[in-house]
């Protein structure tokens, strides 16, 4: 059995290093909780699958909670308690995004499982996302006969004229996967690869909004000259970030509405 540990760093307070507004205009509390619901729903779809029974992957959600208001913590606890997934609640008391990342990397490093899916709390997932990630990772690593890193998001920046790069396209489950030389730190990654490039993750944890020159380009993306990375076509998650960064061919409003409680 392959153990997949899903690391969800949550804080429902506004992040001073984050965007002042987003393309889904909703309070940070609602964003965090809706994205959490989307991850849970995607895990539940994997658990209830009637196909690919030969893929023996077990998923556990690790919610690393960083001092959200008590009413928000209670809501997240309620959602988890009513879910059909395995989960762990861990209070981290970090107080900032860089410190939160540092604590998360150490937590990931010490987990005994084989695979990690590291997530910020502003990634909205399609229900099929976890199933697609597992099957695509299996297919891609089998085809390449090597390890790989997968991003669940087809970021808008891949299509800027200055950033378009040639690559290969492989089959997943319900979408294609294109090679890339750039991801955020929210990726599916094996424990050996994470441990090998832990120093690059420690570097991205020093991010201060770009003022010190620290970014994905200068840190984690350097690993992709050695280990291939891929992103889905079309996207199976949306990074709900700056207003001009909406994900191509991803109906974020429909996915968002899917996880809202009935009025």
Number of domains into which the chain is organized: 1
Burial 42-66 (b: 16+ CB within 10 A, else e): bbbbbeeeeeeeeeebebbbbbbbb
CATH number at residue 198: 3.90.550
Radius of gyration of the chain, Cα coordinates, nearest whole angstrom: 17
Q: Is the pLDDT score of 210 beyond 70?
A: no
pTM over 0.85? The answer is yes
Mean pLDDT, rounded, for 34-62: 95
DSSP label of 29: H
* 151 within domain boundaries: yes
Give yes or no for a contact between 239 and 123, defined as CB atoms under 8 angstroms apart: yes
Q: Residue 232's CB: how many other CB atoms inside 10 A?
A: 24
Q: How confident is the model at residue 3 (pLDDT cuts 50, 70, 90)?
A: very high
Q: How confident is the model at residue 45 (pLDDT cuts 50, 70, 90)?
A: very high
Per-residue pLDDT at 263: 53
Q: Is the pLDDT score of 52 beyond 90?
A: no
pLDDT digits (tens, 9 = 90+) for 174-207: 999 999 999 999 999 999 999 999 999 999 999 8
Per-residue pLDDT at 117: 98
* 138 within domain boundaries: yes
Structural domain boundaries, residue 213: 2-258
Q: How confident is the model at residue 76 (pLDDT cuts 50, 70, 90)?
A: very high
Q: How far apart are CA 247 and CA 256, in angstroms?
A: 13
pLDDT higher at 170 or 262: 170
pLDDT higher at 164 or 131: 131
Q: Is the pLDDT score of 167 beyond 90?
A: yes
Mean pLDDT, rounded, for 151-162: 89
* 208 within domain boundaries: yes
pLDDT digits (tens, 9 = 90+) for 88-137: 999 999 988 889 999 999 999 999 999 999 999 999 999 999 999 999 99
* 77 within domain boundaries: yes
Q: Is the pLDDT score of 156 beyond 90?
A: no
pLDDT digits (tens, 9 = 90+) for 224-256: 999 999 999 999 999 999 888 899 999 999 999
* 263 within domain boundaries: no
């Amino acid at each position: 059995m392959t153990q997949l540990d899903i690391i969800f760093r949550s804080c429902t307070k506004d992040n001073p290093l984050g965007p002042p507004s987003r393309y889904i205009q909703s309070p940070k509390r609602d964003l965090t909780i809706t994205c959490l619901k989307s991850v849970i729903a995607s895990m539940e779809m994997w658990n209830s699958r009637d196909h690919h029974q030969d893929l023996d992957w077990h998923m556990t959600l690790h919610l690393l909670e960083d001092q959200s208001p008590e009413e928000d913590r209670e809501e997240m606890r309620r959602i988890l308690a009513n879910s059909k997934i395995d989960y762990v609640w861990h209070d981290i008391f970090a107080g900032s995004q860089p410190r939160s990342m540092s604590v998360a990397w150490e937590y990931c490093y010490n987990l005994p499982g084989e695979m990690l899916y590291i997530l910020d709390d502003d990634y909205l997932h399609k229900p099929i996302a976890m199933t697609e990630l597992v099957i695509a990772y299996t297919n891609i690593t089998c085809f390449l006969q090597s390890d790989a890193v997968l991003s669940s998001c087809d970021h808008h920046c891949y299509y800027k004229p200055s950033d378009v790069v040639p690559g290969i396209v492989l089959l997943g489950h319900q979408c294609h996967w294109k090679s890339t030389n750039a991801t955020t730190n929210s990726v599916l990654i094996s424990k050996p690869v994470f441990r090998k490039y832990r120093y690059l993750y420690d570097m991205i944890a020093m991010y201060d909004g770009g003022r010190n020159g620290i970014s994905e380009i200068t840190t984690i993306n350097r690993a992709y000259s050695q280990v291939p990375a891929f992103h889905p076509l079309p996207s199976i998650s949306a990074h709900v970030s700056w207003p001009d960064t909406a994900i191509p061919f991803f109906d974020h409003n429909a996915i968002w509405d899917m996880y809202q409680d009935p009025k």
